[in-house]
Chain A
Amino acid sequence: MAGATRKQPMFLERESYRRRRLGDAARLVPFTGLVLLLLSGLWTTTAGAMIYIFVVWAILIVVIGVLSVRLMPLTEDSDEAEPSVPPER
């Protein structure tokens, strides 16, 4: 495995670099969402909590919507340039 990793260039071109960071952003979304949703407990009124939760929810939908549209071309054939996980444990 190490051999395959070594063959990759150390730095990527600007475009590939952007695409990888886009994938990183998509990975961050669920965790950010989880943290924000766990904060719902801070609201003392049900109505307040409801509004907060639905706002966070809507933001998550919009953010992942924007990211997914850009990530779409990277699925299927085009993602061999994208090592998504550390290779071997």
Chain B
Amino acid sequence: MSFNLLVTICLLYVVVLFAFAFWADKRAAAGRVGWLNSPLIYTLSLSIYCTAWTFYGAVGYAARSGMEFVTIYLGPTLVMVGWWVLLRRLVRIGRTQRITSIADLISSRFGKSNMLGVLVTLLAVVATTPYIALQLQSVTLSFNVFATTPGANLNQTAFVVAVGLAAFTILFGTRNLDVNAHHHGVVMAIAVEAVVKLIALLAVGIFVVFILAGGPGPMLDVIAASPIAEQTIRPERWTVLIGLSAMAFICLPRMFQVMVVENSDERHLATASWAFPLYLFLMSLFVLPIAAVGLNVLPAGSNPDLFVLTLPLEFDRNTLAMLAFLGGFSSATSMVIVAAIAVATMVSNHIVMPIWLSRQQGGATVSGDVRHVVITSRRLSIAALLALGYMYYVYSGGSGALAAIGLIAFTGMAQVLPALVGGIFWRGATRTGAAAGLTVGFAIWLWSSFLPSFGDASLIPASVYAEGPFGLSYLRPQALFGIEGLDPLVHAVFWSLLLNTAAFCLFSLLSFPSPLERLQGAAFVNVFRYSESAPGWTGGAAEAEDLLMMSQRIIGASEAQALFAEEAKAQGKLGYLPDVTPAFLEGLERKLAGSVGAATAHAMLMQITGGVTVSVEDLMRVADEAQQILEYSNQLEAKSQELGRTAQQLQEANEKLVALSVQKDGFLSQISHELRTPMTSIRSFSEILMRGETMAPEERQRYSQIIHDEAIRLTRLLDDLLDLSVLENGQVTLNNGEVQLDAILDRAIAATEQPDGVLTISRDRMREAISLYTDSDRLAQVFINLISNVQKYCDADDPELRIEVGDNGSRKIVDFIDNGSGVSAEAESVIFEKFSRGTDHRAAGGAGLGLAICREIMKRLGGDISYVSGQSGAAFRVTLPAAQAAAA
């Protein structure tokens, strides 16, 4: 098979991938996502975990160390089957927090700290570099297998592959600008490649087991007979490698990209939890047989990393070899594409953009600029990353075993794990702790694992390995703290992760988080309880339309449109949408602040412009304003309660007024009647008198008497009304003087004495001997009224009145108690009102003004009159004026 044919097939394959990606992107753009968004595609996209290292390297690893290769797949298997513990939480956080990369996750969790973002990004760049180098190496080696001239310049091939991959990735991975959108095209291409590499490896495996070895049974014999059989499992490496691969599976930037960022549905995780382990199971099923047969069949000294290719070629299965080559090529390209996208996103978001923004005066408010900067920085990052990978490949000698390089990258990325797991399960984890842990882990990894990987003496002098830097023997790269004899990998993993975790925990415990950190910590740890919906805006550009939509919601459609139209007019534009200039935003913010408060308006504009994340100060201000609003609403509530009480009182007053009005109406008709009755009799009798010249003198006398009596009755009624009116208007003049209570009572009783003398009055003269300073006539009037009321209304057969004098502490009181049936409860409240009368109209001599007058008089005199219920009959209590009583 010619090298040119190989290159042609390779290019064709790339074109097919392009077609798939293009088709998927178009489909997604047309909204027909359908099965592009299926659990199957998600599972297959996870297969970028299996890189060229897996495809070629696993066999080499198995040939060198037996079953140990499988640890690289067992770790991820355990993570996937444990999806309910960790991945589900991670995916939910990624979706609710709009996480764009693992650096973003760490930065976001620890108070949106860009310092941590930069740290993780640096770690990712440094750890991804060897991995890229690994892919270059494997593709280069595989090309070389087919090369007609063995021993051709490997570096040159690697360079061409690197440039090709860079171009490929830039075209492929930066087609889509939006970080938050899903890369349907890329994911589709990865899925296709996943299928290709699985089929390729299975095909080689089946060929080896069933054709070369002659079936599973003989296969086991071959394994038992091969040098692999002597490789026993070393427990410490076994354990460390399972843990390491599990950690790397979570932390590798490309894995995080496909697993969390590209995840569109949590249920896909449920399917992937068994489907992806199954994929890994199939990928590793034939690794050991291929290694055993390779060692058995191929000449000694051939590179075991290439058995997957060289075995079919040895038996002239060119098509199978071609398929295997494409499988390896797929593994390398898909890994490079996704890793480059993931790391380039981190670099552009956490390193380039902050620097660019700090150099721009107005901030990122103009849309086009940001997109331009993002895409340029991402393209440059991809190119730089591949350049770094190529340089690593050249300087590391290009000969190290694939597995060893891969494990170095794993150990590097695993340094993020303590901060990540701590961040999503422990609210007490702080930025200081995360930074300390990452720094310590990063440093130890660089010293004990990354730098030594360039070869024994290329970067670190041999003397440092033997004696430590500056003769400090406890800092020897592969024997830290003087502990020797550990496997270098176990040594690096153990010390870096142990000290990383220790620093993370210690500094977290000792430091105090900022408000935003605590806010984010709560949101991450309690993601299942407070799953708020993801914010609706997409990062990047502020559109006048978005701003208008938001403004309309806040200040009303017509006003917002008027505001925007005015601004557009000022800018010399037609229509409603002005250019989004900083000045306009400032004005708009002020306008919105009038409705929702300054802090919220600011935060909302920040959201739409997407320029800078909300600062702690903003949040605190929002909190302050919320607090003020709360206080204000509390005040409002108190006021409304007060209003409620007032309204209640008003209603009661109104009811009373209505009742009084009804009573008054009733009385007006009553009084008309009262006036009319005497008037009628006066008129008729006076008519009789006018006409009756022949009338006997006795008759005339009698009629005149009637007219006279009726006139007196009328006068009395009018007097009462007049009296009350005078009293109520306060126009009364009091003739105060020194008087004796018993004298007034005597006067009152004498005035009311009736000829028949039915009423019995009992008194206690001893107690009545009180001298008062008051208007004796008025007080007598009250007493007279009360006594005559008894005469009128007391319904007992043998009416009796007790007049008792007492005192209620400070003031003297006089009770008038009869032995009648008293006043009914409902009448009690109105008996002192004007025009009210007792129900018994037998003796309706008065107009119902008596008690009202009494009350007015007592008020004027500075005393009081009230009805006392619960006595033997009707009981009125007159409280005598206080000061005068005391003066006396």
Contact residues of B between 285 and 338, Cβ < 8 Å to A: 285, 288
**B784 touches A (CB below 8 Å):** no
A88 within 8 A of B: yes
Interface contact B529-A30, CB-CB below 8 Å: no
A37, A64, A88: the one contacting B74 at CB < 8 Å is A37
Q: Give bound CA distance, A1 to B69, whole Å.
A: 46
Instruction: Give the chain A neighbours of B220 by CB distance below 8 A.
Output: 47
Q: B427 touches which one: A33, A71, A88 (CB < 8 A)?
A: A88
Q: Hey, which chain A residues are within 8 Å of B79, CB to CB?
A: 30
CA distance A40 to B234 in the complex (A): 10
Q: Are B82 and A29 in contact (CB under 8 A)?
A: yes
The answer to whether B238 and A40 have CB atoms under 8 Å apart is: yes
Q: Given A30-B82, A71-B84, A89-B427, A37 and B242 touching (CB < 8 A)?
A: yes
Cα separation A58 to B285 with both chains bound (whole Å): 11
How far is the CB of B305 from the nearest CB of chain A, in Å? 19
Q: Is there an interface contact between B281 and A27, defined as CB atoms closer than 8 Å?
A: no
Instruction: Quote the shortest CB–CB distance from A76 to chain B (angstroms).
Output: 5
Q: How far is the CB of A21 from chain B (nearest CB, A)?
A: 12
Q: Mark A48-89, 1 if CB is under 8 A from B, else 0.
A: 011001100110111111001101100110011011110111
Q: Inside 8 A of B232's CB, which chain A residues have their CB?
A: 41, 44, 46
> A72–B529 Cα gap in the complex (Å)?
18
- Report the Cα distance A75→B78, complex, angstroms: 20
Known: A29-B81, A33-B81, A38-B238. A71 touches B270 (CB 8 A): yes
Contact A40 B233 (CB under 8 A): yes
B88 partner residues in chain A, CB cutoff 8 A: 75
B254-292 at interface with A (beta carbon < 8 Å)? 265-267, 269-271, 273-274, 277-278, 281, 285, 288
Q: Give how many A residues have a beta carbon under 8 Å from the other chain's beta carbons.
A: 45
Asked if A89 and B277 make an inter-chain contact with CB atoms under 8 angstroms apart, the answer reads no
- Beta-carbon nearest neighbor of A31 in chain B: B82
CB of A61 within 8 A of CB of B85, answer no
Q: B270 contacts A75, CB within 8 Å?
A: yes
B269 lies within 8 A of A75 (CB): yes
As a 0/1 sequence over residues 5 to 37 of chain A, the CB contacts with chain B under 8 angstroms (1 = contact) are 000000000000000000100110111011001
Residues of A within 8 A of B529 (CB): 4, 80, 83, 87
- What is the total of A-B residue contacts with beta carbons within 8 Å? 127
**Contact A69 B270, CB 8 Å, known A38-B239, A80-B528, A85-B425:** yes
What residue of chain A has the Cβ atom nearest to residue B73's Cβ? A57
Contact check, A27 vs B85: say whether CB atoms are below 8 A apart.
Answer: yes
Within 8 A of A (CB), among B211-246: 220, 223-224, 228-235, 238-239, 242
Report the minimum CB–CB distance from A86 to chain B (whole Å).
Answer: 10
Q: Nearest residue in B to A23 (C-beta to C-beta)?
A: B84
- B70: interface (CB < 8 Å): yes
**Could you say which residues of chain B place their CB within 8 Å of the CB of A62?**
274
**Residues of B contacting A75 in the complex (Cβ-Cβ under 8 angstroms):** 88, 266-267, 269-270
What is the interface residue range for chain B against chain A?
A: 35 or more
Other-chain residue from A4, A31, A43, A64 in contact with B274 (beta carbon distance below 8 A): A64
Q: How far is A79 from B265 in the complex, measured between Cα atoms in Å?
A: 14
Q: Are B78 and A33 in contact (CB under 8 A)?
A: yes
**B67 interfacial by beta-carbon distance below 8 Å:** yes
Residue in B78, B82, B269 whose CB lies within 8 Å of A27: B82
- How far is A41 from B234 in the complex, measured between Cα atoms in Å? 7
Report yes or no: A76 in contact with B228, Cβ–Cβ below 8 A: no
Alpha-carbon separation in the docked complex, A44 to B285 (Å): 20
For A43, list chain B residues within 8 Å (CB): 233
Residues of B within 8 A of A54 (CB): 281, 285
Inside 8 A of A57's CB, which chain B residues have their CB?
A: 74, 77, 277, 281
Known contacts A47-B220, A47-B224, A61-B277; decide if A34 and B427 are in contact (CB<8 Å). no
* Cross-chain contact A41 with B74 (CB below 8 angstroms): no
Question: Measured between alpha carbons, how far is A62 from B77 in the docked complex, in Å?
Answer: 12
Please indicate the chain A residues that have their CB under 8 angstroms from the CB of B238 in the complex.
38, 40-41
Identify which of A53, A65, A79 contacts B528 (C-beta below 8 A): A79
Per the bound structure, the CA–CA distance linking A47 and B78 in Å amounts to: 22
CB-CB under 8 A from A23, the residues of chain B are: 84
Asked if B83 is an interface residue, CB under 8 A from chain A, the answer is yes
Q: How far is the CA of A60 from the CA of B73 in the complex (A)?
A: 13
Whether the Cβ atoms of A46 and B288 lie closer than 8 Å is yes
Is B441 part of the binding interface, using a Cβ–Cβ cutoff of 8 Å?
A: no
A60-B277 contact in complex given A47-B224, A76-B267, C-beta closer than 8 Å: yes
Q: Interface digits, B845-873 against A, CB 8 Å rule (1 contact, 0 not)? A: 00000000000000000000000000000
Contact with A along B520-543 (1 / 0, CB 8 A): 000001101101000000000000
Bound state CA distance, A69 and B271, in angstroms?
7
Q: Known contacts A27-B84, A88-B427: does B77 contact A60 (CB below 8 Å)? A: yes
Residues of A within 8 A of B242 (CB): 34, 37-38
- A75 CA / B238 CA spacing, docked (Å): 34
Check B274 against A61 for contact (C-beta < 8 Å): yes
In Å, the complex CA distance between A37 and B73 comes to 12
Once the chains bind, are A50 and B288 in contact (CB under 8 Å)? yes
Counting CB contacts under 8 A, is B159 at the interface?
no
Find chain A residues with CB under 8 A from B278 CB.
Answer: 61
Cα A89 to Cα B531 with chains together (Å): 20
Complex Cα gap A3–B673 (Å): 74
Shortest Cβ distance from B39 into chain A, in angstroms?
10
Contact of B70 among A4, A34, A53 (CB under 8 A): A53
Chain A residues within 8 Å of B265, by CB: 76
Task: Report how far A87 CA is from B230 CA in the complex, Å.
Answer: 50
Least distance between B208 CB and chain A CB atoms (Å): 15
What CA separation (Å) do A89 and B145 show in the bound complex? Answer: 58
Say whether A46 contacts B81, CB under 8 Å. Answer: no
Shortest B184–chain A CB gap in Å is 21
One digit per residue, 1 when the CB lies within 8 angstroms of any chain A CB and 0 when it does not, for chain B 74-95 equals: 1001111111110011000000
Bound-state CA distance A7–B698 (Å) is 99
Q: Write out the residue numbers on chain A whose beta carbons fall within 8 Å of the beta carbon of B266.
A: 75-76
Residue in chain A with minimal CB distance to B39: A72
Interface: B356 (CB within 8 A): no
Bound state CA distance, A62 and B235, in angstroms? 26
Chain A contacts of B74 at CB under 8 A?
37, 53, 57
Residue of A nearest to B237 (CB): A41
- Per the bound structure, the CA–CA distance linking A69 and B531 in Å amounts to 23
A44-B232, A75-B88 given as contacts; is B81 within 8 A of A50 (CB)? no
- B426 close to A (CB within 8 Å): yes
| Beta-carbon contacts under 8 Å, B529-574 to A | 529, 531
Chain B neighbourhood of A33, CB < 8 A: 77-78, 81-82
Which residues from chain B contact A34 at a C-beta distance below 8 Å? 78, 242
Q: Which residue of A lies closest to B531 (CB)?
A: A80
Q: Is B428 an interface residue (CB 8 A)?
A: yes
Are the C-beta atoms of B85 and A64 separated by less than 8 Å?
no
B66: Cβ under 8 A from any A Cβ: yes
Q: In the complex, A59→B83 CA distance in Å?
A: 16
Centre residue among A33, A43, A47, A54 by max chain B CB count within 10 A: A47
User: Closest A-chain residue to B288, C-beta based?
Assistant: A50
A84 to chain B: which residues have CB within 8 Å?
84, 89, 528
Cα A68 to Cα B85 with chains together (Å): 12
A-B contact pairs, 6 of them (CB 8 A): A41-B232, A45-B224, A45-B229, A46-B224, A54-B285, A87-B526
Given contacts A57-B281, A60-B81, 7 further A-B contacts (CB under 8 A): A29-B81, A43-B233, A49-B233, A61-B281, A62-B274, A68-B273, A84-B528
- Across the A-B interface, the 9 shortest Cβ-Cβ residue pairs: A30-B82, A65-B274, A26-B84, A64-B81, A68-B270, A75-B266, A72-B270, A41-B233, A41-B235
